[in-house]
Structure 1
Amino acid sequence: MISTVVWGTGNVGRAAIRAVEAHPALTLAAALVHGPGKVGRDAGELGGLGRHLGVAATDDVEAVLGARPGAVVYAASGDLRPDEALADVVRAVGAGAVVVTPALYALYERRGAPAEFRDPVLAAVAAGGGSLFVSGVDPGWANDVLPLLVSGLGSTVEALRCQEIFDYSTYDQEDAVRQLIGMGHPMAYEPPMLAPGVPTMVWGGQIRLLARALGAEVEEIRETLERRPLDATVRTRTMGEFAAGTQGGVRFEVRGIVDGAPRIVIEHITRIHPSCAPDWPVPPDGGDGAHRVVVEGRPRIEVTVEAADEGENRSAGGNATAAGRLVNAIDWLVAAEPGLYDALDVPLRPAAGRLGRKQP
């Protein structure tokens, strides 16, 4: 069994605890937390399993890594603390662990990663013998392995589009929704996540990764952005009130230009309430979240994936599939050589040994 640490117990970390507990090759060794209110609580409780696992959460990073775990799921956010997240990951890789994380956007595509991110990781790999695999929380598979799989079903591909269609009204990450994305702020507010160049910084690696797999050369990456105000004040269950006239919807594209045209596109369509921007694309059944891949070519192929977790919550379902992609890669990475990996290196694994297994 591979001793596995889950570092961070927020939206992704909760799902990661459940995924580690379900995996027949992994055993949960520790749960690392930041908030003092979580220290000492059982990981099963923090993960929403409805039962105790006998693993008490701790904030003692030195002791946890000093025990030389086989793997670390780094589920702490890197949105507002990229330098700290990189330092944490480098520390874990240097301790000899296989590390999987969605937190380091710059390392989605390892070949084109900035040296200031890539070089410290490679130095830690050389010194400690660990590995790193980064995949997105948006979730990553919807912008790499799924579109590439679908693209292989046709004869020609003119363009590839990956869409995330998401209603934030059920989401439970208020700082990111309000401050980073700008929901509920006046339209004059400039959300940090939507500032020119930032979408490319976050999703450009996935554009380059798709191009690499398709044997295409990206000439440049362009961005488009559209924002919509709320027509009426709305109230959400998890984040409270969002006033009329404030930002209620965002639609942007990160476009990989190949042969002078946008051939590889990652598009996000997000709302704080279904009433905002009803003319924009919505999930097929009108629910709160879906991921869609469209291959324009011969034949034209369109695939939509919906996932629900923690009840019927599709925002939680997206987090769960992102965590599942990472956790399910751990045993493959442990068997592989130490190194820095991306989604083109790490295969999507079948759920071997888990058919019929149930969790609360």
Structure 2
Amino acid sequence: MGDQGKIQTVVWGTGNMGRAAIRAIDANPALTLSAVIVANPDKVGKDAGELAGVDRTLGVTATADVDAVLATRPGAIAYTASGDIRPDDAVADVCRALRAGAVVVTPAIYPLYDPTNAPAEIIDPVTAAAKEGGGSLFVSGVDPGWGNDILPILISGVAGAIDQVRCQEIFDYSTYDQPDSVRYLVGMGQPMDYEPMMVAPTVPTMVWGGQVRLIARALGVELDEIRETLERRPLEATVENVMGTFEAGTQGGLRFEVQGIVDDRPVIVLEHITRIHPSVAPDWPSPADGGAGAHTVIIEGSPRISLSLEAEEEGGNRAAGGNATAAGRLVNAIPWLRAAGPGIYDALDVPLTPATGKLRSSGRNPS
């Protein structure tokens, strides 16, 4: 079918997640890309296909005029601008989109991964904006969201007795061309006495605690507390990658856990194992296939269940693959959210939907 009847969908932000969101919208027969919002003046006027790295033009040029886009009352907005170092701005942007009546999907507001436990200073204005405009919101996506919420919950459905649920992101950052985030947020290449923002005390719980609580809620578990652990390793030799030089003796590896505790025992664990080179910390877990990244769910119990998932995009890049699956989870939820009506939703509310109409092998699209 043509664009008639499709949900007019905007992508706001064209970084790693935004590029993937554009591709996911283009592939979804229920959606049509209606606008792309950018902050970088150099991107204004460029075709969305060029920004997303697809091999054709999409007929939508990027704009920095947020008001003009929102005035069109789009059906949905994929808000993929970063919220890491601008959380207040991200909340304000999402509220603007909700007041415009849009379905909003985003990975940017970490406390809303579990809106039932979100602080009032965040959930209250978001709820008010959704009520005022009739919009709806679904927040998921970091590391990616489905790997830390819906995937372990789904797998728990085939388990017997469960002792612990562990979600791991294992990642080689040498493939992730984001030098500011890698060097300063994560701390790779910094002196060992440098405190990376991502693992400063309480920050991991702020970012990933909502997902721990979401899993606990799904499993009917009441947590006593959430704890954090941290281990760092230096580079033994200088390495080079697309982001430049990382000197020997600087941070080369980072491993931390966010643990949901019951009776002084970690029962739900989100673990991150990140390196700037495969040689760092060989005793730490690595992807089962030896690749640059994987997302693993391990359920300790009877039976013991372990599942490792690897995704690749943009020429086999696993960082891009993780972004693509996170964007796919959000974008593909838009039709369900549109039908569900106004409100604030989480991963326990929003079902996974089949990839109807996306099979490319026959060259025919049933839509």
TM-score (norm 2): 0.96
Code of the aligned partner of 1:337: G
- The residue that corresponds to 1:136 in the other structure is 141
- The residue that corresponds to 1:326 in the other structure is 330
Task: Indicate if the aligned counterparts of 1:307 and 1:318 stay in contact, CA closer than 8 A.
Answer: yes
- The residue that corresponds to 1:163 in the other structure is 168
Deviations 1:231-275 (A, max 9, x none): 0110112x1111111101000000000232100000000001101
- The residue that corresponds to 1:5 in the other structure is 10
Task: Indicate if the aligned counterparts of 1:308 and 1:316 stay in contact, CA closer than 8 A.
Answer: yes
Task: Give the CA deviation at 1:281.
Answer: 0.5
2: CA distance between counterparts of 1:174 and 1:17? 23
Which of 79, 88, 93 is equivalent to 1:83?
88
- The residue that corresponds to 2:300 in the other structure is 296
Q: How does 1:187-336 map to 2 (within 5 A)?
A: 187-237=192-242, 239-336=243-340
- The residue that corresponds to 2:37 in the other structure is 32
Code of the aligned partner of 2:164: A
Mean CA deviation greater in 106-115 or 348-357: 348-357
Code of the aligned partner of 1:320: A
2: CA distance between counterparts of 1:327 and 1:154? 29
2: CA distance between counterparts of 1:154 and 1:170? 35
Task: Indicate if the aligned counterparts of 2:141 and 2:327 stay in contact, CA closer than 8 A.
Answer: no
Structure 1 unaligned blocks of 5 or more: none
Classify the secondary structure of the residue corresponding to 1:37. Answer: helix
- The residue that corresponds to 1:347 in the other structure is 351
Classify the secondary structure of the residue corresponding to 1:111. Answer: helix
Task: Indicate if the aligned counterparts of 1:163 and 1:269 stay in contact, CA closer than 8 A.
Answer: yes
Q: For the aligned residues, what is the CA RMSD?
A: 1.0
1: CA distance between counterparts of 2:169 and 2:190? 22
Task: Indicate if the aligned counterparts of 2:162 and 2:302 stay in contact, CA closer than 8 A.
Answer: yes
- The residue that corresponds to 1:185 in the other structure is 190
- The residue that corresponds to 2:3 in the other structure is none
Structure 2 unaligned blocks of 5 or more: 1-5
Q: How does 1:1-80 map to 2 (within 5 A)?
A: 1-80=6-85
Task: Indicate if the aligned counterparts of 2:8 and 2:33 stay in contact, CA closer than 8 A.
Answer: yes
2: CA distance between counterparts of 1:73 and 1:172? 22
Code of the aligned partner of 2:75: G
1: CA distance between counterparts of 2:62 and 2:177? 21
Task: Give the CA deviation at 1:356.
Answer: 2.3
Task: Indicate if the aligned counterparts of 1:101 and 1:134 stay in contact, CA closer than 8 A.
Answer: yes
2: CA distance between counterparts of 1:93 and 1:192? 30
Classify the secondary structure of the residue corresponding to 1:160. Answer: strand
Task: Give the CA deviation at 1:136.
Answer: 2.3
Task: Indicate if the aligned counterparts of 1:105 and 1:136 stay in contact, CA closer than 8 A.
Answer: no
Matched, 1:152 2:157: yes
Task: Indicate if the aligned counterparts of 2:99 and 2:135 stay in contact, CA closer than 8 A.
Answer: yes
Percent of aligned pairs with the same residue?
70
Task: Indicate if the aligned counterparts of 1:11 and 1:172 stay in contact, CA closer than 8 A.
Answer: no
Deviations 1:89-135 (A, max 9, x none): 00001100000000000100010011111001110111000001000
Task: Give the CA deviation at 1:292.
Answer: 0.3
- Number of matched pairs: 358
Task: Indicate if the aligned counterparts of 1:288 and 1:314 stay in contact, CA closer than 8 A.
Answer: yes
Q: How does 1:87-126 map to 2 (within 5 A)?
A: 87-126=92-131
Code of the aligned partner of 1:282: S
Task: Give the CA deviation at 1:173.
Answer: 1.4
Classify the secondary structure of the residue corresponding to 1:212. Answer: helix
Classify the secondary structure of the residue corresponding to 2:213. Answer: helix
